Amino acid sequence: MTKVTKIVEAGFKPAERIASVGVSKILQIGARAAAMKRSGSPVIILGAGEPDFDTPAHIKEAAKQAIDHGETKYTALDGTPVLKQAVCDKFRRENGVDYAIDEITVGAGAKQILFNAFMATINPGDEIVIPTPYWTSYSDIVEICGGVPVLVPCDAGAGFKMTAAQLEAAITPKTRWLLLNSPSNPSGAAYTETDYRPLLDVLLANPQVWLMVDDMYEHIVYDDFAFVTPAALEPRLKERTLTINGVSKAYAMTGWRIGYAGGPKALIKAMAVIQSQSTSCPSSISQAASVAALNGDQAILEERRESFRQRRDFVVSALNAIDGISCRTPEGAFYTFASCEGMIGRTTPAGNIIGMDADFTDYLLEDANVAVVPGSAFGLSPYFRISYATSMNELKEALSRIERACSALR
Ligand code: PMP
């Protein structure tokens, strides 16, 4: 369902490695909603995966200084020494994990880090275990790199989290990586130490499987949730764990394109080989800005967290008040992933039957002018994702439109 538009046109033959990869449903919906907006429809877009806040002033200032001081050339391949040191300090201070400088890599976003890691490690047919729902790029990157995504459904009843039994059943002699994301895009679910422990025990018993963790939403957690990362929990796994993070979500820096990771030296070196043949290095200016983000005042994180929490509480309760929709309270990130099972089989005022979640989200876009993303785009149905990284006023209007549209279904 994700791969709606294949990259195939008359006279053009794509490489086999991208034959099964398409433009994501999220981008398609975004483009359609933006086109509707341009032609005058009052569309509210709840699809974007980025904070609506601005990049903090001291970070922008550091970038301006970098330009003025001539930091405008190629940098060290996978990160300036000063940024790598800031990343080491961050891991030690916030996560209790000790990485040496040569165990750190910096790339153009966490997405490039994921790409480098998979390019550097996957042989054709290698399997990557991914709990579902998952961030759409995971399976596409794995496929581009010649791997096989092994998607393990983890529904709302399971808190959208994978169990040890599920992991054990998914592992085969071909398994190369387990990829975990906490808090999760799209579900907002986050693993506690107690959730992680049994999974880590399974990994200890399967030494051929490495662990990749995507901690991008670490700082966006609510209700005193105690964020933990596996490398801190299980030192015996640290030698085969890649801990990925970045500045995009925490510091509202999606456009600056800086992500980073800590992991075993040999893996980090192999990833640098890939990066050296693609982008050469991340932007020098963005790296200087990221040093300011990581080393600077962190009070901004708390303020923004509180603002996201208010929005989460509003969206979750508004959704649960709608007959036919149920929404688990997410521990983190800025998404809700609500079930629309109760809408399946209902009929729209125009006489169309809602057969699956994508029909429901199409209906919301066309009739209520609200753009959200169907669960099918993330590998799990029937659900839909709302990104609440937008103003409370827009959220109130959007939720009341959704409520009206749902009550119009028969
Ligand atoms: N991981 C997750 C779970 C994400 O949601 C995103 C952005 N949507 C990324 C990684 C990529 O972040 P970036 O490339 O901006 O660092």
- Per DSSP, the residues of 331-373 read SBTTEEEEE-GGGTT-B-TTS-B--SHHHHHHHHHHHH-EE-E
Same domain as 160, residue 241: yes
Neighbouring CB atoms inside 10 A of 4's CB total 14
Domain of residue 282 covers 70-295
Distance CA 321, CA 398 (A): 14
Distance 134 CA to ligand 1 centre (A): 12
Q: Is 259 in the pocket of ligand 1 (CB under 6 A)?
A: yes
Same domain as 321, residue 278: no
- Nearest ligand 1 atom, CA 246: 16
Same domain as 188, residue 78: yes
Q: Is 38 helix (H, G, I), strand (E, B) or coil?
A: helix
Same domain as 326, residue 291: no
Cα separations in angstroms, 389 against 53, 220, 312, 335: 8, 11, 9, 8
Distance CA 282, CA 259 (A): 9
Q: Is 214 in the pocket of ligand 1 (CB under 6 A)?
A: yes
- Find where tokens 């974007």 sit: 48
Distance CA 64, CA 106 (A): 21
pLDDT along the chain (410 residues), means of 10: 52 84 80 93 91 95 98 97 98 98 98 98 98 96 96 96 98 98 98 98 98 98 97 97 98 97 98 97 98 96 94 98 98 98 97 97 96 96 97 97 97
Q: Say if 38 falls within a structural domain.
A: yes
Q: Is 27 helix (H, G, I), strand (E, B) or coil?
A: helix
Given 238, 271, 295, the domain boundary residue is: 295
Distance CA 27, CA 34 (A): 10
Q: Say if 59 falls within a structural domain.
A: no
Distance CA 47, CA 334 (A): 11
Given 250, 274, 295, the domain boundary residue is: 295
Closest residue by Cα to atom 5, ligand 1, is 185
Same domain as 50, residue 16: yes
Domain count, the chain: 2
Given 265, 295, 325, the domain boundary residue is: 295
Neighbouring CB atoms inside 10 A of 98's CB total 14
Q: Say if 359 falls within a structural domain.
A: yes
Distance CA 325, CA 339 (A): 6
Contacts of 130 by beta carbon, 8 Å cutoff, 6+ apart:
138, 139, 142, 149, 150, 151, 152, 179
Pocket test for ligand 1, best of 113, 213, 248 (most atoms within 8 A of CB): 248
Q: Is 181 in the pocket of ligand 1 (CB under 6 A)?
A: yes
- Nearest ligand 1 atom, CA 217: 3
The CATH number covering residue 316 comes to 3.90.1150.10
Distance CA 133, CA 158 (A): 12
Same domain as 288, residue 353: no
Same domain as 192, residue 274: yes
Same domain as 324, residue 280: no
- pLDDT attached to residue 9: 65
Contact 370, 363 (CB under 8 A): no
Q: Is 218 in the pocket of ligand 1 (CB under 6 A)?
A: no
- pLDDT attached to residue 2: 43
- Nearest ligand 1 atom, CA 214: 1
The CATH number covering residue 160 comes to 3.40.640.10
Q: Say if 64 falls within a structural domain.
A: no
Task: Provide ipTM, 2 decimals.
Answer: 0.99
Same domain as 334, residue 258: no
Same domain as 48, residue 75: no
Distance 342 CA to ligand 1 centre (A): 31
Q: Say if 60 falls within a structural domain.
A: no
Q: Say if 238 falls within a structural domain.
A: yes
Same domain as 288, residue 195: yes
Contact 214, 114 (CB under 8 A): yes
- Nearest ligand 1 atom, CA 114: 10
Same domain as 157, residue 243: yes
Q: Say if 78 falls within a structural domain.
A: yes
Beta bridge partners of 383: 339
Task: Give the tokens for residue 181.
Answer: 């994301």
Q: Say if 310 falls within a structural domain.
A: yes
Confidence (pTM): 0.95
